[in-house]
Every structure is written in C-alpha cells, then in structure tokens.
Structure 1
Amino acid sequence: MIKLIATDMDGTFLTDNKDYDRPRFQKLLTKMRARGIRFVVASGNQYYQLRSFFNDDPDIVYLSENGAYIRSDAQVLAVNHFTQEAVQQLVPRLTAIPHVRVIVCGERSAYVQAKDGTDYEAFARQYYYQLQVLDSFADLPNDHILKFATNCPPAETQAVIRQLDATMGNLAEPTSSGHGDIDVIQPGMNKAAGLKRLGDHLNIDLADMAAFGDGGNDLEMLREVGLGVAMANADPAVAAVADAHTTSNEEQGVLTFIENLLA
C-alpha cells in the first residue's frame, strides 16, 4: 500500500515552462491527504526555489539538494553536509576542471564567483533563490555546504563525470540530472538515502513509497522504492530500472499516474 509519493521536479513534475496543472494537482492532493498519503518533492534544487511552487501547501516535505536538506515549512528534519576539510579540498579540484562552472550549495545560500559572469549568475538564480556572488570561493562564509552544482556543455557531460570520478576520490561522487548539469554530492547522499531517512521519521518503509523521475540523480530513488515510475522522456538508464512508466512531463504524466493510482 502506497503511503508516500515522491517526485522529481525538472523534467518530471514540471512542464518545460516550469509549471504544472495547479487545479488538477490540488484535487489530487486533497484525495491523497484524505487517504493519509504524504506528497514529497525530491529534487537536486534548492529548498527556497522548490518551496515557491507550492505556496498554498505548507505540509509538503522537500528533499532538496538531492536529499541532503530535508524540511517542511515548519521543521528542518535533516541537514547532511560536507566537512569543512572536504570543502577545502573539493573547491580547487572542481574549479580546475576546464569548461566547468560551479555553484557551491549551502544551507543558508548558494554561492557563485563573479568571474563566471552575469549570465551564469542569472542561470543560477533560476534554481537558487538564495544566492550570493563572491569575488572568490576563498571568501565562502560559514555555512553548511550540502553539495556542489556544476554545469558543462551537454556534449561533454560523460567526459566530465569521468574526470570528476577520477579527481574526487572518496570525498564526493557525481550524479547527472541531464542537460550538462552534474551535482557533486556526499558519498551515498542521494534521493533514496533521503527518502529512507524521511521514512524513518514518518514510520514509512521504502517499500510503501512511489517515486517519479527522469534523470540520473533519480536512479537510486526509483530502484529503492516500492513503485518507481519513469517518465516517457526519461534517460534510458532510468527507464530501465523503473517498475512502471508514464507519459512525459509535458503531458503531466505524474498527475495522470497518480489519478490512476488513486482510482
């Protein structure tokens, strides 16, 4: 019996113009609440950005930063962050990779370097509503660093992932959400681990969860839950591990699947 439904956002719950059918979702959310089913957002993006999509729904739980920062409006449930020593080692390794730009993602804010330009700052602000521009990452304030978001030309994604694997050692691991976006996360700190921790808090087993996704950072989540659902637009590797499939994000496949599930 499904007691929790988790969904990725970009390429999954959201259409390509970063929206969703809000009246349709509200009807489904009312039905889920009536049945005691929790609705959870599981994304690599920042909590403050994710929260902006659901201003009328204060009880939704967010697994942001790929599960490193878990909270609702009222309560922070988990903060999993890199040690300061790991941050000091990772920053120069990441910034030394050619054609790669870096966002350092903290609990209070995300951080970019001024030298990466105003265009990159504008790109970052789409996903990180709390963002500071620093002269250098040497000026990072005292914040819990949850992950590093990197961006490269899409055609170079797999080559950059291999380079990251070779240079990060056991300090971190890369995961791709597509389109040249690669998150550098704490070892083992993926969306599945975040759902497990949330499930322990809510007394819900992974086997009693359903999850929706489309990208490489959804792989573990879809594999570990009781019902993993891939979008029609999902990466082939994601589609291969899923228990079920639904229509694309543009066709609101998450909402359609939930409607059928509740029926």
Structure 2
Amino acid sequence: MPVKLIATDLDGTLLDSHGNLDQARFKKVYTALCEAGVQLVIASGRQAIEMAEQFQAYPDLWLVGSNGAETMQPRTSLIASTFAPEVVRQILTILAAYPEVKVAMCGFETIFVKQTTNPRLLARLQNYYYDVAKVHRLAAVNAAIVKFNIFCPPALTEQLQYELTPKLAGLAQPIVGEIGSLDLIQPGLDKGKAVRTLSRRLGITADQMVAFGAGENDLTLLQHAHTGIAVPTAPAWIQAQADAIMDTTQTTSVLAYIERRILPHLKKSLVFSEN
C-alpha cells in the first residue's frame, strides 16, 4: 500500500549532528508530503509544547512528545498522560538509593531539578528544554509529571537500567536515551504506542507507515511501521531490528532520504518499501 504517514525521531535523526534543522529543505519536503496526502509525525523525547513552538509554521504537523506521553499539533491543545502523584513519590524513593544518579522530572513546560544540580548538567538540560527550574526537594513539586530523565556515570548506564527495570515494574519503564542517560517513561506509553493510536485516529494502517529512528526509545516506533529505517549512528542492535539502514553515502539525512527514496514513488503513485 502507498505511504500515508512518515514518523521520525528528532535528535540524532531529523536534526543534524549539531542539533540543527535545514529549515528550507524541511519546508520543501513537508510541502511535497502534504501535496501527496502524507502525514508527517515528529516523535521525540522532548516536550511537545517546546516542539510546537519550533514548528509553529506547520499547523498540520503532528508532534509526539516525552517519548509517547504527549500528542498535539503546533496550534492545538496538548493531550497528555501523566504519572499519578503517588507513583512519582514511589519512583523518587527508589531512585534515592542511587546517590550517583541525578534526577530531572519533566512536566508539560518545565523540567524540575534539585538546587544542587551541577552547572554542566544544567547546561545540558537547557539545550533540550527551555524552562529548567531548580527546587529544594523534588518530592515537593506539585506539577503533573510526564517522564523522568536520570543521569549517571556512562559506564553504569546498562547496569542501572538492568537494576531499575524490576524495581520500577508497574511504575515506570527505563529506556536508554544515550550513554549516561535514562528516561523513565510510563509503562506502555512509548513512541510506537502513541503513533499507533494517532494513526488509528487518522485512519492510517501500519502498512502505510514509514518510520525513522536512532535509539532504544525509537524501537517500538520502528517495529510498528511497515518500514522501519535506522540511521547509521543507531546502535548495532537497533539496526539489526530495523527493516533498512540509511545509506551514508547517498542519503545523509532523513530529509534527503525522503526526497530521493520516497517522494519519487509518491509522485508516480508507486508503493515504497525497503522490505
């Protein structure tokens, strides 16, 4: 069946290695997809509200934020699922046993960290989230929380995920964002689930979808789509589970890949597939 929806991760996938987006190229590709009746979805660990500001000029674009907990379009209201307050307290109690771990709690607009958070980590967070608030006690925060970011020494990343997975069972699911960082997401609320729910709403089936991803938080997204495409920098085990890997010599970005491999099929009413 022809492609009707393209979903892509943002950091490390749609954005270049410096975290920038080729605005002119994006506009050109977005316009061509709209004309062909293809829905574009950006699915990220970033807040949906932040992405909505970045993509304000594209009102028909769909945004999936906080690794699946949030859904919106740039000019519509946010739809989000949050952790129950008691669950937030339980998670913080479990994380307190790991003094080497730094915790950030993510709300719709604000990221909360302890006042003692070091400047280097603050700068890192401010690169991804525009409103970072320092508080005395995370447990005293009353805001709705959609996910947690936790940071640890890089060498401990996999071990920490291994230890936390059973301890947080039923409360949160730890996934690796990058080495030295884990996201704690709500069980069953990941990018793949969010895009699956959205596609049903739009009347689009999995065999009409193409997805691009770079990391563990993109795995369910790649698996749900008929054609899941991993970027060359994705971990080997992610690449092994994708249907295809972008060719670094010919397609240096998601936008270039869409231009060269997908749009020609749409213009000729052909079915695109890398399977």
TM-score by structure 1 length?
Answer: 0.93
Q: Which amino acid aligns with 1:170?
A: G
Q: Which residue of 2 aligns with 1:209?
A: 209
CA deviation after TM superposition for structure 1 residue 242, in Å: 0.9
- Aligned: 1:74 with 2:75: yes
Cα distance in 1 for partners of 2:53, 2:41 equals 14
Say which SS state the counterpart of residue 128 (structure 2) adopts: coil
Q: Which amino acid aligns with 1:38?
A: Q
Cα distance in 1 for partners of 2:108, 2:125 equals 16
CA deviation after TM superposition for structure 1 residue 77, in Å: 5.5
- CA distance 1:30–1:13, shift in 2 (3 Å): same
Instruction: Report if the CA contact (8 A) 1:195-1:206 is conserved.
Output: no
Instruction: Return 5+ residue gaps in structure 1 as ranges.
Output: none
Q: Which residue of 1 aligns with 2:183?
A: 183
- CA distance 1:77–1:36, shift in 2 (3 Å): farther
Cα distance in 2 for partners of 1:48, 1:224 equals 25
- Aligned: 1:253 with 2:253: yes
Instruction: Report if the CA contact (8 A) 1:95-1:101 is conserved.
Output: no
- Provide, for residues 8-48 of structure 1, a one-character-per-residue CA deviation record: whole Å limited to 9, x for no partner: 11111111211122212211111101011111110111224
Between 1:63-72 and 1:114-123, the stretch displaced more is 114-123
Say which SS state the counterpart of residue 176 (structure 1) adopts: strand
Q: Which residue of 1 aligns with 2:267?
A: none
Cα distance in 1 for partners of 2:158, 2:31 equals 42
Q: Which residue of 2 aligns with 1:235?
A: 235
Q: Which amino acid aligns with 1:33?
A: C
Q: How many residues align?
A: 260
Between 1:7-16 and 1:76-85, the stretch displaced more is 76-85
Q: Which amino acid aligns with 1:43?
A: S
- Kindly name which structure, 1 or 2, has the bigger radius of gyration based on alpha carbons: 2
- Aligned: 1:129 with 2:168: no
Instruction: Report if the CA contact (8 A) 1:109-1:132 is conserved.
Output: yes
Q: Which residue of 1 aligns with 2:226?
A: 226
Cα distance in 2 for partners of 1:165, 1:254 equals 32
Q: Which residue of 1 aligns with 2:157?
A: 157
Q: Which residue of 1 aligns with 2:166?
A: 166
CA deviation after TM superposition for structure 1 residue 90, in Å: 0.6
Q: Which amino acid aligns with 2:150?
A: T
Q: Which runs of 4+ in 1 moved over 6 A?
A: none
Cα distance in 2 for partners of 1:95, 1:115 equals 15
Cα RMSD over matched residues? 1.7
Q: Which amino acid aligns with 2:210?
A: A
Between 1:80-89 and 1:68-77, the stretch displaced more is 68-77
Q: Which residue of 1 aligns with 2:27?
A: 26
- Provide, for residues 28-84 of structure 1, a one-character-per-residue CA deviation record: whole Å limited to 9, x for no partner: 111101011111110111224333543432322110000101111222363111111
Correspondence list, 1:85-100, <5 A? 85-100=86-101
- CA distance 1:58–1:31, shift in 2 (3 Å): same
- Provide, for residues 95-134 of structure 1, a one-character-per-residue CA deviation record: whole Å limited to 9, x for no partner: 4323211110112422111112333222211111132211
TM-score by structure 2 length?
Answer: 0.89
Instruction: Report if the CA contact (8 A) 1:112-1:132 is conserved.
Output: yes
Cα distance in 1 for partners of 2:92, 2:6 equals 35
- Aligned: 1:244 with 2:244: yes
